[in-house]
Amino acid sequence: MISHLAGKIVLKKQGFIILSVAGVGYEVFVSVKTAESLPEANSDLSLFCYLDVGERSLKLFGFLTYSELELFKI
């Protein structure tokens, strides 16, 4: 399970970012609220994460605080 990522923001788009961690780019879905609070591209970022495993997909959701992650799980 991926529960935390720290790296550089490569790309910011509506609804997701790409975060480079040790040379690997992770597509991380973020809420509108989280997206508004993120720094610009090429900035360092640390996120708490939730990995949603589906039958045909893996989706990684990112949150700035652990409490946001806990709320998402509910």
DSSP 3-state assignment of 68? helix
Q: Is the pLDDT of residue 59 over 90?
A: yes
Quick one: pLDDT at residue 44?
A: 96
Q: What is the pLDDT of residue 33?
A: 87
Give the per-residue pLDDT at 1: 83
Answer yes or no: is pLDDT of 16 > 90: yes
The torsion angles phi and psi of 66, rounded to 5 degrees, stand at -65, -35
Q: How far apart are CA 41 and CA 11, in angstroms?
A: 6
Quote the CA–CA distance of 38 and 5 in Å, as a whole number: 14
Select from 65, 54, 2 the least CA-distant residue to 28.
Answer: 2
pLDDT digits (tens, 9 = 90+) for 19-57: 999 999 999 999 988 988 999 999 999 999 999 999 999
